Structure 1
Amino acid sequence: MKIYLFAVVLIMPISLGADDRENTFHLSGAGEEANLDTAVYTDNAAWNPELIPYLSKETRILTNWQEKIRLPDPPANSSERTRAELDYLKNLESVRSDDQKNAILRELKVIGMKIGAHEMGPMFEKETSLPETRKLLLAGMHDMEIIIFKTKNHFNRVRPTHLDPDIHPSIEVPGHPAYPSGHATQAHVLAYLFCELDPENSDDYLRSASQIARNREIAGVHYPSDSAAGQLLARQIVDRLLEHEGFRSLLEKARREWE
């Protein structure tokens, strides 16, 4: 199983008519609100080509996930909420440190993440000392990835840089829509599963996931509302996984490795 998880990047185009291209990528002036709110991904041509296959893949465990998993709409591009979030991102950028930038780079791929005390790279190696845990995590992540990209495709939210040119990301802007944050979803799915395996360290797992999500805001590629939606999506994904008999069987086998 390949784990891309938002490591491959592409600057994304947005949907704008010829008359809309000037004075659109900023949030000043009520007359531009309509233009702002029509700025979305238009079709698959805007996507990183390596990620497009996720849009046609089917989940293995959560076969009816569309009926049970719901997210609220993201704030409108012209909303006061979005204005405040963009200002917040610029404040984060103004104090972005080298240590934060290094963490952001490490976390581009799942194998660079650390959830609690656990480095994900060794956890996903075939030679891991926790093979049943690896199976559990991979099973959950397979469906998670598909749900993330299909949900992103549904909401089609543009990245912060497309609304405010004064935001300067520390990494390239990913080639897929912003909402929900894939990194926030991914980190929290892993954290929630570790909480099932090792509840005594739940606070550490959740703290790590929250920091990974926030690092994407510090990087300038996600709004805070993307992160919040990612956490909400992760909670729903894990809750639905835990309802599945086959997944619960994987969980019980993995728990024995933590005794």
Structure 2
Amino acid sequence: MKKDYGNALPIKWSELAYAGEQRLPSPVEKNTNTWPTFFFYRNTKGDFLDHNGKPIHWEIRSPDSIDFIHEELKKVQNTLLNLTQEQITIAEYWNAGPPTKQFTPLIDRLIDTYDISAPRAARILGACNAAANDAMIITWHFKYLWDIPRPNQLDHHLATIICTPYHPSYPSGHSVVAGCMQILLSYFFSPESKRLITLAEECANSRLYGGVHFSIDNTEGLRLGRQIGSLIVNALSEQIDNNLVAIDYQIIEDKKAILPPPPYKQVISYPRDRTCSSLLDERQDPDAR
């Protein structure tokens, strides 16, 4: 029987300042959960429905069953204490820009490697970007529903490798998008599925290395993202042309696409610093961002 930690977390994200800051955090895009989705519907209660209008049982743990204050916070503290330079690089790389920043070049590389036609390339890009939109909307729904604090709100001496975003911790947006993209791209490019799993998990782990997410934010974020991706794949796989032929087909040949990272250099570079008012660790890797 799972323990109930609901009474062990009386402080919410919206009620506590970040380490090194005095003011309460100002929420980023708090109404994202009300934005239109491409692959999902909502009922009159605001609950999400799948493409057939059926209710969805979301596969994500209730935060009441998670010990954020002790078990999860300790994992973050121990991770930061024992970070390797490689983990710092990974944190910086995946943190550069929004969650789609590193996945968009992966999609382009896959399209080039598998010599995808122009109409199919547009379909793949459209599906992945629409999926990312829906994944973020659903993530924001849960973030502000549960209002779980960040690690540096529970430990006011916690210095992070990357800046802590101004929205609640659970689940991790990067992890949800990573899980969703893994499923979508594995649908279109099945020979690359193992590599895509590795990349999705590295993206998720990077948030723990950066000190901005609890481990459970990432594992449950991946789980939620993969569910979102699977529901979207179900919708895509049912689409047919006017000859009643399925639009998508399975790729058989493994062309072993070279998917970064490594190297841990941004494919689309943009000058970025590491400026924030919350506490930062001196360790960093500017070249990775």
The question of a shared fold, defined as TM-score above 0.5 by the shorter chain, is answered with yes
Query: Which residue is equivalent to 1:46?
Result: 26
C-alpha deviation, 1:107, in angstroms? 1.6
Aligned residues: 216
For 2:153 and 2:205, the matched residues in 1 are separated by 20
Query: Which residue is equivalent to 2:74?
Result: 87
Bigger proportion of residues as helix: 1
Q: TM-score, normalised by structure 1?
A: 0.70
2:162 is the alignment partner of 1:174: no
2:194 is the alignment partner of 1:214: no
2:99 is the alignment partner of 1:103: no
Q: 1:107 is paired with a residue of what secondary structure?
A: helix
How much is the aligned-residue C-alpha RMSD, in angstroms? 3.3
Closer, same or farther: CA 119–246 of 1 in aligned 2, 3 Å = closer
For the 8 Å contact 2:139–2:173, the answer to whether it is kept is yes
Query: Which residue is equivalent to 2:128?
Result: 137
For the 8 Å contact 1:89–1:220, the answer to whether it is kept is yes
Closer, same or farther: CA 138–209 of 1 in aligned 2, 3 Å = same
Question: For residue 183 of structure 1, what is the amino acid of its counterpart?
Answer: H
Q: What pairs up with 1:56-71 in 2 under 5 angstroms?
A: 56-64=34-42, 65=48, 67-70=55-58, 71=60
C-alpha deviation, 1:256, in angstroms? 7.5
Pick from 226, 231, 235 the counterpart of residue 244 of structure 1: 235
For 2:99 and 2:249, the matched residues in 1 are separated by 22
For the 8 Å contact 2:171–2:217, the answer to whether it is kept is yes
For the 8 Å contact 2:99–2:173, the answer to whether it is kept is no
For 1:220 and 1:121, the matched residues in 2 are separated by 30
Query: Which residue is equivalent to 1:73?
Result: 62
% of aligned pairs identical? 19
C-alpha deviation, 1:184, in angstroms? 0.6
Q: Deviations over 1:29-86 (max 9, x none)?
A: xxxx96x6221144997302xx234133132321042630423212568x4x641222
Q: 2:63 is paired with a residue of what secondary structure?
A: coil
Closer, same or farther: CA 181–170 of 1 in aligned 2, 3 Å = same
Closer, same or farther: CA 224–207 of 1 in aligned 2, 3 Å = same
Q: 1:119 is paired with a residue of what secondary structure?
A: helix
For the 8 Å contact 1:59–1:146, the answer to whether it is kept is yes
Q: Which has the larger radius of gyration?
A: 2
Structure 2: where are the runs of 5+ without partners? 1-5, 16-23, 43-47, 50-54, 112-116, 254-289
Query: Which residue is equivalent to 1:153?
Result: 144
Structure 1: where are the runs of 5+ without partners? 1-32
